[in-house]
Structure 1
């Protein structure tokens, strides 16, 4: 396969980065994987991908990386409030300082493109309304909660990227999205500083045991469901685009809570003992939010390839096969 260009993926050992590195490699790009872990356990080298370990907050550590013939950078590195106990300084250092270091690396190496993830909390005021979120809606941030400083940091990083775009001509593709659904052996995250199992993983666990599943609030409310392999396809489209980019909403299929739970039951429950739904309308509603993806479709040619059921079926397949076991471990490693 002809080499389409050289792409550096920062955050390559993380959820989005690992899948993205493999997707780009399979599509003919020369991929360089970069992560904060000292070792990737040989995961990337087996796939013909170079792996480098750096501290994204330390500009001097970037000297380890290739310094020329870089075409694009995918920047998925940085702390997440959902993966660690709340630490505002880590969020600012890794996202703001880290992004500045990545941008300087791009400038000094002569690369001309960056792909960067943006949180949907930058348009938090559109959540739980019937108004679709537009790609270029005014950015803001929630004043309280564990996503407040995180969103401030992400907005600042986007502003830095815009500065480098206008000053140095670097094309930028800012991808705004809610949850990207994918299998990871660790089903836990942090919410307001407390370690909890992710809500959709709770539903899957109950379905696999054939236990009743509670349907809270209004079951007709919809949310964006984006599967990881649709997301990595979009990253590929960004890297291949000749445009200067912008901010893009990453939408999938807007699926109601009723459809989400029914799909989980169909895919994960035992056929001879499927879970039953128990409706609790008095409980709080799930998040209501939707994107207008016209800009993403028109400028990048993006269309989701996976239906919701197809995404869940592929999720279940990867749960059984553990394709990233060498990098992330297996589900037994995360049992409480």
Structure 2
């Protein structure tokens, strides 16, 4: 039996992927092993082997299972999880940590690595063209608190390419926009200061029957991709007969801000008391649609969740309380 290691499994996306794998894999050839920084019992509760590891410390890799087929690298430091501003953490986790993972892959002759990249490297294109192609060259700002983060993820991608070309490790890169999911954690950091996640505020207001607001231009569109569709992409890349791939994560469909808000009210306002209030005086929301054509062609990926399907499933996960 070959092992598949999921670094960053104790994060929200990691937990979803582990459950997705359990729901979809019925063979005996591969065993999934979860790795993360947190001391939690979640994985033992669902029958998954779990190792606590700090990827910045190479000596901790010595105790990991061997005979590894694939590595899914979801671990990383990101602005949304950083209190204050300490760019050294981006270097230590996203660069040094990724190098340690790559060395583990080389030493253990791992077949492939799957890596979660930020779409911050091409986000600026959306200002002039709402559809973001999967093959756009990098273009990002050098004047924000996100810059070192984006650069650290870019360098991690370049290191993975180096190990692909020098050592033959198959590599699959996934460029992530906002990934929507249900989690107990409803806050994130903006410029180092904690805030409640915007869509969670809207959901809470809808549940409470309060007014919900549509800020700025209600026609602006965004690609609303659900975590379980991202998990589908990862799962397919684990077993695809290819040496490499670079994919945008998304649905390829834009959902207008007005439709986003109306959908939340439809799904979460059980008592139908919320009113939608338009606020054109407020700032516009970002807009972008991810080109996923090569993911469809090369992985056989087809998004399963429409926007409303996603909301209903999020509501189901909220009620189940798994995450």
TM-score normalised by structure 2 residue count: 0.95
Paired residue secondary structure (1:260): helix
Is contact 1:146-1:191 (8 Å) kept?
no
Aligned residues: 317
Alignment of 1:34-53 (within 5 A): 34-37=35-38, 39-41=39-41, 43-53=42-52
Unaligned segments of structure 2, at least 5 residues: none
**Does 1:62 find its partner at 2:61?**
yes
Conserved 8 A contact 2:16-2:227:
yes
Q: Give the aligned partner of residue 168 of structure 1.
A: 167
Secondary structure (helix, strand or coil) at the match of 2:132 reads: coil
Give the 5 Å matches for 1:65-104: 65-67=64-66, 69-85=67-83, 86-104=85-103
Cα 1:261–1:131, aligned 2, differ >3 Å: closer, same or farther?
closer
Q: Would you say the 8 A contact 1:175–1:249 is kept in 2?
A: yes
CA contact (8 A) 1:177 1:250 kept: yes
* Kept after mapping to 1: 8 A contact 2:87/2:149: yes
Mapping for residues 274-313 of structure 1, pairs under 5 Å: 275-313=274-312
Residues 209 and 270 in structure 1, CA contact (< 8 A), matched pair in contact too: no
Match of residue 239 from structure 1 = 238
| Cα contact 2:172–2:245 (8 A) shared by 1 | yes
Kindly provide the CA deviation profile for residues 188-242 of structure 1, in whole angstroms up to 9, marking residues without a partner as x.
0000111000111111111111111111111111111111111111110010111
Q: Is the 8 A contact 1:126 1:289 kept in 2?
A: no
1:181-200 equivalences in 2 (<5 Å):
181-200=180-199
**Once superposed, what is the RMSD of the aligned Cα atoms?**
1.3
Partner of 2:68, secondary structure, is coil
1:31 aligns to what? Answer: 32
DSSP-derived class of the 1:165 partner: helix
Partner SS, residue 223 of structure 2: strand
- Determine the structure 2 residue equivalent to 1:19: 16
Q: Which is further off, 144-153 or 54-63?
A: 144-153
Q: Could you tell me how far 1:272 is from its partner in structure 2?
A: 4.1
- Aligned 8 A contact 2:125 2:139 in 1: no
- Relative to structure 2, which stretch is displaced further, 185-194 or 130-139? 130-139
Query: Structure 1, residues 128-166: CA drift from partner, whole Å, max 9, x if none?
Result: 333421112111332122311110100000000000011
2: CA distance, partners of 1:303 / 1:260: 21
